[in-house]
Amino acid sequence: MLRVFLTAAVAVMVAATAWVFWDRARGSTATPIAGFSAPFVFGRFAVPPDNPLTEEAFALGRHLFYDPILSGNNQVSCATCHMQALAFTDGLAKSPALSGGELEFSSMSLINLLWGQERFFWDGRATSLEAQALMPIQHPDEMDQDLDALITELQASRDYRRMFRKAYGEVSAENVARALSTFMRMLISTDSKYDRFLRGEVRLTAQEEHGRKLFMAHPDTKVSLRGGNCIDCHSQFLTSGFRDALDGFSNNGLDSDDDLPDGLMAVTGNPAHKGFFKVPTLRNIAVTAPYMHDGRFETLEEVMDHYNDGIVVSDTLSPLILEADNAPEAGQNTVGLRMTPGEVQSIIAFLNTLTDEGFLTNTQFSNPFEGDG
């Protein structure tokens, strides 16, 4: 009996010592984010194995996201162009450039980035959030910051030294990217009216339900099925573009061949991808105006006018858009869904059920330098 006891005691001591050493050696003492869950209808997601979701990384990422120290002139933070109340967009057609004028593209909402496409930016040029995060920091017209200078600045701060140590071990540009990515991965919206409807907690109004049905149907006049065909590109639960390969990029008929921007073609070099852009999530879409990559539409009504009868034909235009038509007779000079005004209003009513007030005001996502943090 005594022998058993002694063996057990020795084993415990060895394990404890090993743990202490291992704990020191790994540098950080990060705690995995517990109780994190998402509706199963969102489907699979992947977190890079070398950047697990931890409380410490999230806290650090949140500070960095809101801190203008990330910019060269210490005046611009990520949140300058990604504001929580606007679902992390900036409310402008195109974000202002540091050198005056404006950037090429409209700011994008940051919602449920764990799902949907694994490429980021309108043209998909970043293949991971980690790769994306350092781009705006160094971009001369966004934050114009030298990474070495940034690391020196962060190292000078006791608070940041402590936060980096707890999350990752050391202060480095890589870990800046990792922490920002963790923060952005946790920007999860699951409590819109549509989510509560999917969970069986609320009913949609008759108009919203009509809009939902139209959103989810590709029209087929042959069987008298009316539809808005949104689901051909905006997935049914996530409302974002599709995850597989480049399925989440498309040309939705904004420009003619003469002035079609490169879009995804700039990244893949494939002419079949000219004018393809990332299909954005429609969650919280009611608060992210203006719309499209260049912010050309002010309201959801304008967006619907576009899909209804304002489609501009180009060589790479999605055949699903060109083919989706609710009117049995061929159109005269217009291409679009040709739905009734009532149907258009119903789709807009459905789009409004995608707003998640809890997400827009969640204090865990807000500026940690303000209020009780």
Partner 1 sequence: MRIWMTGLAILLFVGGALFFALGPQRTTSITLTFHAKMGDDPLIFDEFVYDNPGGSGTFRVRDFRFYLSNLTLSQDGALFAEPDSYHLLRFDNPETIHSIRLNDIPLRSIEHVRFMIGVDPEANGSIQVRGDLDPNSQMAWNWEVGYKFVVMEGTLRIGEEVSPLVYHVGFSENAREVDIQLPPDIGSDGNADLHVNVDLAKLFGGPSQIDLQKLSSVKFNREDAAMLADNYATMMTPMFR
In the annotated binding site, the residues are 78, 81-82, 230, 233-234
* Torsion on CA atoms 105, 350, 187, 144, rounded to nearest 10: 10
C-alpha to C-alpha distance for 342 and 213, rounded to whole angstroms: 13
Binding residues for heme c: 78, 81-82, 230, 233-234
| Residue 121 touches ligand HEC, criterion: CB under 6 A | yes
Residue 42 contacts residue 191 (beta carbons within 8 Å) = no
Judged by beta carbon distances under 5 to 8 A according to partner kind, the member of partner 1, ligand HEC, none in contact with residue 112 is none
Distances (CA, A) of 359 to 113, 141, 187, 192, 203: 14, 29, 8, 9, 20
Residue 89 contacts residue 82 (beta carbons within 8 Å) = yes
- The residues pairing with 225 across neighbouring beta strands, listed in sequence order, are 220
Q: Considering only the stretches 41-49, 51-59, 193-201, 275-283, report the one whose residues sit in contact with ligand HEC under the rule CB under 6 A.
A: 275-283
Q: What track of x and - describes contact with partner 1 for positions 308 through 327 (by CB under 8 A)?
A: -----------xx-xx----
Contacts of 43 (CB under 8 A, 6+ apart): 115, 237, 238, 243
| Residue 247 touches partner 1, criterion: CB under 8 A | yes
Judged by beta carbon distances under 5 to 8 A according to partner kind, the member of partner 1, ligand HEC, none in contact with residue 81 is ligand HEC
C-alpha to C-alpha distance for 353 and 356, rounded to whole angstroms: 8
List 30, 60, 87, 133, residue binding ligand HEC (CB under 6 A)? 133
Nearer to partner 1, 81 or 285 (CB): 285
Of the candidates 67, 69, 85, the one whose C-alpha atom is nearest the C-alpha of residue 365 is: 85
What part of residues 223-262 is at the interface with ligand HEC (CB under 6 A)?
A: 228-230, 232-234, 250, 252, 254
List 151, 179, 184, 260, residue binding ligand HEC (CB under 6 A)? 184
Q: Could you tell me the smallest distance in angstroms from the CB atom of residue 232 to ligand HEC?
A: 4
| Residue 193 touches ligand HEC, criterion: CB under 6 A | no
C-alpha to C-alpha distance for 277 and 292, rounded to whole angstroms: 9
Judged by beta carbon distances under 5 to 8 A according to partner kind, the member of partner 1, ligand HEC, none in contact with residue 34 is none
Cα torsion angle, 369, 114, 133, 249, sign: negative
What part of residues 266-305 is at the interface with partner 1 (CB under 8 A)?
A: 271-272
Locate 360 and state its tokens.
């827009």
Locate 146 and state its tokens.
């030298």
Buried b / exposed e along 159-168 (16+ C-beta atoms within 10 A) = ebeebbbbbb
| Residue 80 touches ligand HEC, criterion: CB under 6 A | yes
What part of residues 89-108 is at the interface with ligand HEC (CB under 6 A)?
A: 95, 103, 105, 107-108
Distances (CA, A) of 133 to 57, 138, 258: 14, 10, 33
Q: How many CB atoms lie within 10 A of CB 39?
A: 14
Q: Within 13 Å, how many C-alpha atoms sit on residue 310's CB side?
A: 11
Q: Could you tell me the smallest distance in angstroms from the CB atom of residue 359 to ligand HEC?
A: 15
Nearer to partner 1, 8 or 322 (CB): 322
| Residue 243 touches partner 1, criterion: CB under 8 A | yes
| Residue 267 touches ligand HEC, criterion: CB under 6 A | no
Nearer to partner 1, 20 or 41 (CB): 41
Q: Applying CB under 8 A, which residues contact partner 1?
A: 40-44, 115-116, 216-218, 220, 222-223, 225, 231-232, 235-238, 240, 242-245, 247, 271-272, 319-320, 322-323
Q: Applying CB under 6 A, which residues contact ligand HEC?
A: 70, 76, 78, 80-82, 95, 103, 105, 107-108, 110, 120-122, 129, 132-133, 136-137, 142-143, 180, 184, 228-230, 232-234, 250, 252, 254, 277-280, 282, 285, 288, 291-293, 303, 307, 318, 320-321, 347
